[in-house]
Amino acid sequence: MTALRAHEVARFLVRPDLSEGLFLAYGPDGGLVRETAQKLIRQLSGDDPASANISIFDGPELASDPSQLLLEARSGSLFGGKRIIRIRNATKALVMPLTELRDDPGGAAIVLEADNLPPRDALRALVEAARLGRALPCYPDSDETLMALMRETFNQADIRTDADVVPTLREILGNDREVTRRELEKLSLYAAASKSLTRDDVLLLCADNGALAVDAILDSTGTGHAEKLELALNRALAANINPQQLLAMLTNHFANLRRWRTEVDGGKTPRAVLDNLKPKPHFSRSGALEQQLRTWTDNALANAGERLLQATSDTRRRPVLAETVLRRTTLALCMLAATL
């Protein structure tokens, strides 16, 4: 049985110990699954990738006609190159034809791409139990691996980055490897001439306007800036962020402020409280958060929390008024912050 662990996949891709058989890349990160399959195919293609005979199929297509997979695997390459069959969206519906190929793939490498599969899934079990089979789990990257990928990409392109570029990128991007690769390619192309990147460049090219607007809503509400609040609300709603989601984020924000305020009332400075947070808020918000900790009292924060809970309840009873309730509640809190 050969079931690689997630951290072993990268090493396997550099030097696969099989040249034929069943290879299953699976996991919740679709971008990483595709990238893993592509890297494996490049390795299996050998020193002359152009000569490889690569066929690409979709899983449901083969499931409706399993004999097509058997025919493809048993057919010899017209030009003598490596025969590779890539199957996207593979499922357990392919177990029967793959069982026939498990012990005798005829020199072909069958690369399967699948969603996250539980241990008892028939397709995963088949590949893991096969002598000529390797299962390659593709799980979301950790902060460390993603940041290492970013630094490696910029170093290879000889691009100098400010110290806050990689942390800012990590905050903006999710865990999908394909999305990360695409954004890194865009940044590398942008900096191809200047060979340098700043945080402003990252925000300009990669930032999700909706995500930035949420932070602006939280901080403008808490610091009492009505004009900034109006602009941020318009941006967030234009990005199709649900008003009820925004109320939930505001509720969480004010609950955090109240928890942190307890430490301030216990004798710590707002700066010390923020410095000890894990994970730390982005440094660009530190000034606004410190101001809010100095401005809001525990009693005022308790009242703000109650008002937000009532607003949430109102939107659940009458969803059609969600935006109106959101605007009314945030403006009221914003005006209160301005008078504290």
| Fold category of 209-339 in CATH | Zinc Finger, Delta Prime; domain 3 (1.20.272)
Q: What CA–CA distances, in Å, run from 158 to 33, 182, 189, 248, 328?
A: 28, 18, 12, 43, 50
Separation between Cα atoms, residue 310 and residue 325, nearest integer Å = 10
Q: Report the alpha-carbon distance of residue 138 to residue 288 in Å, rounded.
A: 39
* Phi/psi at 157 (5° precision): -90, 5
In the chain, where the domains are located: 6-137, 143-206, 209-339
Answer yes or no: are the C-beta atoms of 85 and 109 closer than 8 Å: yes
State residue 335's pLDDT score: 94
- Residue position matching structure tokens 């695409």: 182
Identify the pLDDT of residue 77.
Answer: 54
Whether 209-339 and 6-137 are alike in CATH topology: the answer is no
When the pLDDT of each residue in the chain is averaged and rounded to a whole number, the result is 87
pLDDT of residue 146: 82
Residue 215 has pLDDT above 70, yes or no: yes
Confidence of residue 208 (pLDDT cuts 50, 70, 90): low
* pLDDT given at position 310: 95
Nearest to 112 by CA among 84, 143, 142, 132: 84
For residue 294, pLDDT beyond 90: yes
**Sorting pLDDT into bands at 50, 70 and 90, what band is 206?**
confident
The pLDDT of 158-168, averaged and rounded, is 90
Res 231: pLDDT: 86
Q: How much of the chain, in percent, has pLDDT values that exceed 90?
A: 52
Residue 92's pLDDT band, with cuts at 50, 70 and 90, is: very high
Amino acid 219: pLDDT? 93
Top mean-pLDDT range of 188-192, 201-205, 219-223:
219-223
pTM: 0.52
Max Cα-Cα span within the chain = 80
How far apart CA 197 and CA 166 sit, in angstroms, is 10
Q: Which CATH architecture has domain 6-137?
A: 3-Layer(aba) Sandwich (3.40)
* pLDDT value at residue 142: 75
Above 80 in pLDDT, residue 212?
A: no
**Residue 20 above 90 pLDDT?**
yes
| Band of pLDDT at residue 161, cut at 50, 70 and 90 | very high
Sheet hosting strand 109-114, strand order edge to edge = 53-58, 83-88, 109-114, 21-26, 133-137
